[in-house]
Chain A
Amino acid sequence: MEEEEAPPLAVEIEQPVEPYSSGAKDIDVPVGVTVITGYLGSGKSTLVNHILNTQHGKRIAVILNEFGEEIGVERAMINEGDGGALVEEWVELANGCICCTVKHSLVQALEQLVQRKERLDHILLETTGLANPAPLASVLWLDDQLESAVKLDSIITVVDAKNLRFQLSENQSSSSFPEAYLQIAFADVVILNKVDLVSPEGSKDFLEELEKEIHSINSLASIIRSVRSQVDLSMILDCRAYDATHASHLESLLEESRALSTQDLHDSGVRTLCICEQQNVDLEKVRLWLEEILWEKKYDMDVYRCKGVLSVHSSNQLHTLQAVREIYEIVATRDWKKEENQMNKIVFIGHNLNKNVLAESFRACVAC
């Protein structure tokens, strides 16, 4: 077994990298992670390249998620800051006893990456062929208590203005939907791309109609129009969509004029609905009510996302509610302001939703 080859290049001594740890380096502010979904050809990869190659002064790592977990590694491309070249890194997924660990191997790998690099401003997770980003969201939406180096920032989907209608109307069986529905339903931001390819003459109306369709599925998502995926980074990074205390989400929910419930425009039945209740509610009853819907699948409704504000009995604090599939949390965030109308408002995005049933069952949570 003699090694006849020339000596390899010696490497700089660096701090040892541990395959797993919770706190080798103190992280003040967790690095945001954005999940990017979208059909092949939607402009998703162009968006990623745009982010990597534009001079924006931010150091961003893109995880390409090409191999999945079987191979045990992911490829990451990182732009080394202003004018820097792209650096390729390999992120090793900790294989092995993940079953009794709280953090998924992907999270551990992302934390490793953050610890290895001197400064990382954001991480993008580009998914390939992923219909349903919910499992990824569940894995990345960590408990605050874990004080992780990474934090789920938002889920973004890139859709193709020219082909979206067609993609939404693709034939489906009763129990599954075209990917496009799920991607839109779970998105916090929808990038409506290739708007230039829509024929100019009726394009204004056409695009408005498209946006209405997108909002009919998910009226909470913000929509950004783009050409060749050129998007202002500040609009898609640092969304803090899973941060219970983040102000802009509360404001949009409290805005009374906005009609959030949508009509069922498609056979799919994936839509947004909003219920309101003026009277204070009993927090424990609300938890049980929500758990029956999310965990026991009472009423046979399939809830994808849920966001709300609650006016809780014997508390002067506004409570926020957030859920992705079965994972939910209710957090007291701040005091109600004097001028605010203290009320409950909950938005559901899902399939087979029944407004009457939800409104009535929620009313039973009112504090006696």
Chain B
Amino acid sequence: MADVATLSCARCSKPANLQCPKCVELKLPREAAAFCTQDCFKASWSSHKSVHLKAKQADLGMGTSDSEGWLYCLKKGQSRTPKIPYFDWTGTLRPYPISSRRMVPAHIVLPDWAADGIPTIELNSDLQRVVEIKTPDPIERMRETCLIARKVLDAAAHVVRPGITTDEIDRVVHDVTIAAGGYPSPLNYHFFPKSCCTSVNEVICHGIPDARILEDGDIVNVDVTVYYKGVHGDLNETYFVGNVDEESRRLVQCTYECLEKAISIVKPGMRFREVGEVVNRHASMSGLSVVKSICGHGIGELFHCAPNIPHYARNKAVGVMKAGQTFTIEPMINAGVWRDRMWPDGWTVVTADGQRSAQFEHTLLVTETGVEVLTARLPSSPKVFPWLDA
């Protein structure tokens, strides 16, 4: 936690333990907002309040910012700010400004949140409580959509390398999705500002593509969901950027195996809670920990619906798998502790100790005899996993 004693009054530089409430509300940097007494605050008020005005202008896009509208994300995507927000960062990664919203051509069929940020249909659906058994028609549509999602992710994998920004990865995901006739589901989902999630190093998931340049030695997860023909397909993979250290290679490979082992038990009659037992067993054996806050989810006409599938052991998940169900399994595995924190942007989940985290995800269909991996790798998928391509 930051040492409060080191903050000094913005006016007289004495030690400060008061702050401007407006700056707190707007999540502006503390250094400019700290004061030693109400009197110093009062005296600075007329010049200090211009900080709020600048932040509000940035919000409305009237920016005085000189980086062509690239701003930091706040409030889950509902606002922007020109200055990096205050946070006691758990690792060395920092947020970077994000680009302006990408356009979607008129012929693309949109989910309801594209317009107002709120997945109204999803929030009110019965499918939040009941797991759907799909009929052949939606299943066939899901096969198509998941194939597109796989190709979109592969296109992203092709461009991952030191020197590229996560924003450029997002542009590839966005453009390839649109070219295939689909909508990138994350875009404006609960106001998420971009078309995919890019999670670097200590970011567990839901990282927002931004201006940061990937460095040699990074690991990066790209999470893609495509909405096409009325259904969603969701998958993610963690990639190496250039040459990564041995610890990172082991982390990523183990995570891949956790997903593989979990998928191998999927069949009618298997309890959902068993997924957590399998993932936890394999991760623990390698001395790694399992993220507990985020779980796998049902998917289909809705982006997220029942069932909830935790990845940790001894969970009370309700229900057994049945043929015709479609859901994701997406274990997040950490090199250090399992606990997580959230950045001020309201989306980015990071490890509490700043150590690295990896993830893999597939959309699965339960069949009469077992499972069909709808987002499976193709022969054309880039060969980026050393343990797969001997």
Interface string of A3-44 (1 = CB under 8 A from B): 100111111110110111111100000000000000000000
| Contact A16-B87, Cβ < 8 Å, known A102-B308, A145-B315 | yes
Interface of A is mostly: loop
Contacting pair A1 B22 (CB below 8 A): no
Contacting pair A99 B304 (CB below 8 A): yes
Interface string of A121-163 (1 = CB under 8 A from B): 0000000000000000000010111100000000000000000
B residues less than 8 Å from A141 (CB atoms): 316
Contacting pair A99 B297 (CB below 8 A): yes
Interface string of B290-326 (1 = CB under 8 A from A): 0011111100000111001010111110111000000
A residues less than 8 Å from B48 (CB atoms): 7
* B249 interface contact, C-beta 8 A: no
Q: Which of A309-345 contact B (CB under 8 A)?
A: 326-329
A103 to B291, CA, bound (A): 13
Minimum CB–CB distance from B385 to chain A (whole Å) comes to 25
Q: Which of B3-56 contact A (CB under 8 A)?
A: 4, 7, 16-22, 24, 30, 34-35, 38, 41-42, 45, 48-49, 52-53, 56
| Contact A13-B295, Cβ < 8 Å, known A1-B53, A21-B341, A327-B318 | no
A146 to B315, CA, bound (A): 9
Interface string of B97-126 (1 = CB under 8 A from A): 000000000000000000000000010000
A residues less than 8 Å from B293 (CB atoms): 22, 101-103, 146
Contacting pair B342 A18 (CB below 8 A): yes
* B167 interface contact, C-beta 8 A: no
A residues less than 8 Å from B315 (CB atoms): 143, 145
Contacting pair A329 B294 (CB below 8 A): no
| Contact A7-B45, Cβ < 8 Å, known A101-B295, A103-B293, A143-B316 | yes
| Contact A100-B340, Cβ < 8 Å, known A3-B52, A16-B88 | no
A residues less than 8 Å from B52 (CB atoms): 3
* A97 interface contact, C-beta 8 A: yes
Residue in contact with A13 in the complex, picked from B34, B271, B296, CB distance below 8 Å: B34
Contacting pair A19 B342 (CB below 8 A): yes
| Contact A11-B320, Cβ < 8 Å, known A23-B339, A97-B189 | no
Tally of A-B residue pairs with Cβ under 8 A?
123
Residue in contact with A99 in the complex, picked from B34, B42, B305, CB distance below 8 Å: B305
Q: Which of A69-96 contact B (CB under 8 A)?
A: 95-96
* B141 interface contact, C-beta 8 A: no
* B352 interface contact, C-beta 8 A: yes
Minimum CB–CB distance from B54 to chain A (whole Å) comes to 11
| Contact A101-B294, Cβ < 8 Å, known A7-B41, A18-B342, A145-B314 | yes
Q: Which residue of A lies closest to B342 (CB)?
A: A20
Contacting pair B314 A11 (CB below 8 A): no
A198 to B88, CA, bound (A): 60
Contacting pair A13 B4 (CB below 8 A): yes
A291 to B34, CA, bound (A): 58
A20 to B342, CA, bound (A): 6
Q: How many A residues face the partner with a CB closer than 8 A? A: 38
Q: Which of A288-308 contact B (CB under 8 A)?
A: 291, 295
B residues less than 8 Å from A13 (CB atoms): 4, 7, 16-19, 30, 34
Contacting pair B295 A22 (CB below 8 A): no
* B388 interface contact, C-beta 8 A: no
B residues less than 8 Å from A23 (CB atoms): 339-341, 352
A residues less than 8 Å from B16 (CB atoms): 13
Contacting pair A12 B17 (CB below 8 A): yes
Contacting pair A295 B38 (CB below 8 A): no
Interface string of B339-355 (1 = CB under 8 A from A): 11110001100001000
Minimum CB–CB distance from A339 to chain B (whole Å) comes to 31
B residues less than 8 Å from A103 (CB atoms): 293
A1 to B54, CA, bound (A): 11
Contacting pair A12 B18 (CB below 8 A): yes
Q: How many B residues face the partner with a CB closer than 8 A? A: 61
Contacting pair B320 A295 (CB below 8 A): yes
Minimum CB–CB distance from B115 to chain A (whole Å) comes to 17
Q: Which residue of B lies closest to A26 (CB)?
A: B339
| Contact A9-B316, Cβ < 8 Å, known A16-B88, A21-B342 | no
Residue in contact with A102 in the complex, picked from B21, B34, B292, B352, CB distance below 8 Å: B292
Residue in contact with A16 in the complex, picked from B76, B86, B310, CB distance below 8 Å: B86
Minimum CB–CB distance from A365 to chain B (whole Å) comes to 17
A327 to B16, CA, bound (A): 50
A103 to B292, CA, bound (A): 10
A15 to B30, CA, bound (A): 12
* B83 interface contact, C-beta 8 A: no
Residue in contact with B310 in the complex, picked from A1, A11, A22, A102, CB distance below 8 Å: A102
* B190 interface contact, C-beta 8 A: yes
Contacting pair B21 A15 (CB below 8 A): no
* B1 interface contact, C-beta 8 A: yes
A100 to B204, CA, bound (A): 14
Interface string of B219-252 (1 = CB under 8 A from A): 0000000000000000000000000000000000
Q: Which residue of A lies closest to B48 (CB)?
A: A7
Interface string of B75-95 (1 = CB under 8 A from A): 010000000001110000000
Minimum CB–CB distance from A112 to chain B (whole Å) comes to 11
Minimum CB–CB distance from B130 to chain A (whole Å) comes to 11
Minimum CB–CB distance from B197 to chain A (whole Å) comes to 11
Contacting pair B346 A96 (CB below 8 A): yes
Minimum CB–CB distance from B165 to chain A (whole Å) comes to 24
A6 to B64, CA, bound (A): 26
A6 to B293, CA, bound (A): 43
Contacting pair B314 A144 (CB below 8 A): yes
A residues less than 8 Å from B352 (CB atoms): 21-23
Residue in contact with B22 in the complex, picked from A8, A96, A144, A328, CB distance below 8 Å: A8
B residues less than 8 Å from A327 (CB atoms): 316, 318
B residues less than 8 Å from A24 (CB atoms): 341
Give 18 A-B contacts (CB < 8 Å), ordered by A residue. A10-B35, A10-B41, A15-B1, A20-B342, A21-B339, A21-B340, A22-B292, A97-B189, A97-B206, A97-B304, A97-B347, A102-B308, A143-B310, A144-B314, A145-B315, A295-B318, A326-B318, A328-B316
Q: B interface vs A, CB < 8 Å?
A: 1, 4, 7, 16-22, 24, 30, 34-35, 38, 41-42, 45, 48-49, 52-53, 56, 76, 86-88, 122, 128, 189-192, 206, 271, 292-297, 303-305, 308, 310, 312-316, 318-320, 339-342, 346-347, 352
Q: A interface vs B, CB < 8 Å?
A: 1, 3, 6-13, 15-16, 18-24, 95-97, 99-103, 141, 143-146, 291, 295, 326-329
11 more contacts with CB within 8 A, not counting A7-B42, A13-B7, A99-B303, are A1-B53, A13-B16, A16-B88, A21-B339, A22-B292, A22-B352, A23-B340, A97-B347, A102-B310, A143-B316, A329-B316
Q: Which 8 A-B pairs have the closest CB atoms?
A: A99-B304, A23-B339, A7-B45, A10-B18, A96-B190, A10-B41, A21-B341, A326-B318
